[in-house]
């Protein structure tokens, strides 16, 4: 009889129980010889978990299974720790007329009694794995609740060492100053408009070494790095976030700005990130998204119109890509270098100061606070059982409507200001830098323009630019009937 011995041990098992491959082979070989096997082939998987069937030696055994008459294992859980996998493998062996023998359990699974034991022992093995998973998860969460870090420190951190330079069990992580400066630079530059690809290429060019001493900086790796809440002192674990004991590398406001930009870019189709301004554009008729129609005479079209019922479709919008780009940049140059943006910022700041001095702004805020207080008191009364749900709904419906109206008035009399760092950044731009940017990749142009405009509407023969800075009304710019990029921006009428 020709037999195969399958041996498996995980690293943890060998360290804690001493269950080595040599011990398994000795017992399995002795049993095979006792059963009259004349030839034995050994398949070994060392350091592999039993939770998966993707193991080199097991896959090799299954590929040559028809060559053997019997398979010997130390215990059934050497094949798998999952009941379903155990049953599947055992059924496959028996179905091909191959004996499956567990040496230490003294069971031949080709018999009815053996198959009964298969189900019982398999259930116990799977239960043990599930219990271990629960215990490990509980231990991990307990450490996280205490603010302790799990796993390998990310770039920018290392484990705290004792006086002898050794890492003690449960050591906290501390900042690596040189790496932390790189992290802060990446967060600042990305929040100001740099792309992930640009940042990765820069790190490669400067030969900035990563955690393992390599130069494997990629845009996907930087995306994961910038999304990690570890850098603001938090610890993520299976969908939950815990407060860590370690020091943060960046502030929460900078981190939030980076997350907002990452989320915004994730909604943009990959082809549009570097090849189109379309994510910034909207249809001026239906408000739908704009798509770029490639070809010799490239145009921007309404991408929503064709999805509407025929009776609801508006007339098609066809705008020359070159003309739209020229119109946007013609007004942008006037806006930034002509002082329009700075004047509007100063007027908006003066308006807010005047409102605060007049007391109008505070009066509306007090009115809003009183309305919200009434809503809270009604909720407290409902929770205390003083009023029922119908009365609560009746009282709060009008209050909720009034609260939205007050919030609208508050936004109208005191609109939010464009952040100061954005205003300063825009003022520093020159006609030369704008011209250089206008000749660069469209993805970089779009991200730069998105700092100034919330969106740009296409209206067939004109575009309407909506500014981020309060106090500047939307600007309508007519598109020339015929436009050639060779003419530059001089043919774009701005008045």
**Does residue 10 carry a catalytic annotation?**
yes
Coil/strand/helix, residue 109: coil
Of 10, 49, 110, 374, the active-site residue reads: 10
Q: Where are the alpha helices (DSSP H) in 291-430?
A: 321-337, 340-358, 360-383, 389-413, 420-427
Q: Are strands 2-9 and 70-73 parallel, antiparallel or unpaired?
A: parallel
DSSP 419-478: PHHHHHHHHT--HHHHHHHHTS-HHHHHHHHTTTEEEEEE-SSEEEEEESSTT---EEEE
Question: Considering only CA atoms, which of 54, 125, 128, 65 is closest in space to residue 91?
Answer: 65
- Provide the CB-side half-sphere exposure for 73 (13 A, CA): 24
* Length of the chain (residues): 495
Distance in angstroms (rounded) separating the CA atoms of residues 436 and 413 = 38
**Which conformational region is residue 282 in: left (phi greater than 0), alpha (psi within -120 to 50 degrees), or beta?**
beta
6 DSSP 8-state letter: E
Task: Report residue 346 as tokens.
Answer: 């100063």
Cα 58 from Cα 44, distance rounded (Å): 8
What are the contacts of 343-348 at 24+ separation with CB within 8 A?
344/467, 344/469, 344/471, 344/472, 345/417, 345/418, 345/423, 345/469, 345/471, 347/471, 348/415, 348/417, 348/418, 348/469, 348/470, 348/471
Reported as half-sphere exposure (CB side, CA atoms, 13 A), residue 15 has a value of 4
**Bridge partners (DSSP) listed for residue 100:** 71
Cα angle 441, 443, 445 (rounded to 5 degrees) comes to: 75
Q: In sequence order, what are the residues at sequence separation of 6 or more whose Cβ sits closer than 8 angstroms to the Cβ of residue 282?
A: 288, 289, 290, 455, 456, 457, 458
Is 293 in a helix, a strand, or coil? strand
Distances (CA, A) of 191 to 210, 256, 294, 364, 422: 21, 9, 31, 34, 11
User: Angle CA(208)–CA(251)–CA(196) in degrees, nearest 5?
Assistant: 40
List the catalytic residues: 10
């Amino acid at each position: 009889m020709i037999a195969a011995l399958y041996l498996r041990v995980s690293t943890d098992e060998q360290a804690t129980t001493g269950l080595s491959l040599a011990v398994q082979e000795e017992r399995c070989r002795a049993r095979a010889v006792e059963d009259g096997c004349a030839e034995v082939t050994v398949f070994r998987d060392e350091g592999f978990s039993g939770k998966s069937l993707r193991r080199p030696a097991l896959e090799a055994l299954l590929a040559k299974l028809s060559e053997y008459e019997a398979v010997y294992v130390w215990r059934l859980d050497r094949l798998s720790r999952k009941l379903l996998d155990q049953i599947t493998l055992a059924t496959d062996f028996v179905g091909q007329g191959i004996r499956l023998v567990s040496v230490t359990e003294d069971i031949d699974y080709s018999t009815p009694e053996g198959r009964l034991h298969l189900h019982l022992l398999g259930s116990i093995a799977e239960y043990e794995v599930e219990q271990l998973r629960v215990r490990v998860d509980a231990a991990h969460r307990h450490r996280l609740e205490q603010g302790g870090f799990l796993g390998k420190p990310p770039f920018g951190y290392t484990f705290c060492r004792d006086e002898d330079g050794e890492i003690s069990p449960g050591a906290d992580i501390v900042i690596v100053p040189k790496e932390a400066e790189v992290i802060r630079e990446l967060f600042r530059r990305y929040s100001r408009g740099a792309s992930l690809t640009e940042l990765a290429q820069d790190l490669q060019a400067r030969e900035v070494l990563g955690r393992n001493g390599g130069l494997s900086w990629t845009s996907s790796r930087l995306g994961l790095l910038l999304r990690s809440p570890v850098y603001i002192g938090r610890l993520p674990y299976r969908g939950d976030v815990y407060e860590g004991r370690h020091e943060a590398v960046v502030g929460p406001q900078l981190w939030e700005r980076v997350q907002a930009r990452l989320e915004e870019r994730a909604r943009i189709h990959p082809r549009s990130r570097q090849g189109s301004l379309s994510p910034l554009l909207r249809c001026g008729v239906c408000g739908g998204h704009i798509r770029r129609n490639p070809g010799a005479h490239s145009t921007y079209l309404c991408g929503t119109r064709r999805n509407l019922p025929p009776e609801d479709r508006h007339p098609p919008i066809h705008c020359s890509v070159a003309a739209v780009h020229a119109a946007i940049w013609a007004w942008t140059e006037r806006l930034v270098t002509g002082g329009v943006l700075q004047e509007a910022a100063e007027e908006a700041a003066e308006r807010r100061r005047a409102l605060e001095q007049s007391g109008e702004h505070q009066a509306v805020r007090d009115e809003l606070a009183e309305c919200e207080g009434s809503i809270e008191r009604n909720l407290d009364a409902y929770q205390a059982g003083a009023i029922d749900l119908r009365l609560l709904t009746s009282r709060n419906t009008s209050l909720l409507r009034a609260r939205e109206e007050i919030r609208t008035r508050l936004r109208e009399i005191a609109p939010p200001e464009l952040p100061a760092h954005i205003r300063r950044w825009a003022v520093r731009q020159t006609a030369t830098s704008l011209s250089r940017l206008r000749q660069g990749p469209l993805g970089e142009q779009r991200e730069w323009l998105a700092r100034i405009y919330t969106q740009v509407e296409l209206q067939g023969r004109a575009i309407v630019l909506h500014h981020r800075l309060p106090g500047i009304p939307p600007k309508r710019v007519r598109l020339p009937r015929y436009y050639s990029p060779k003419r530059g921006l001089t043919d774009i009428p701005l008045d």
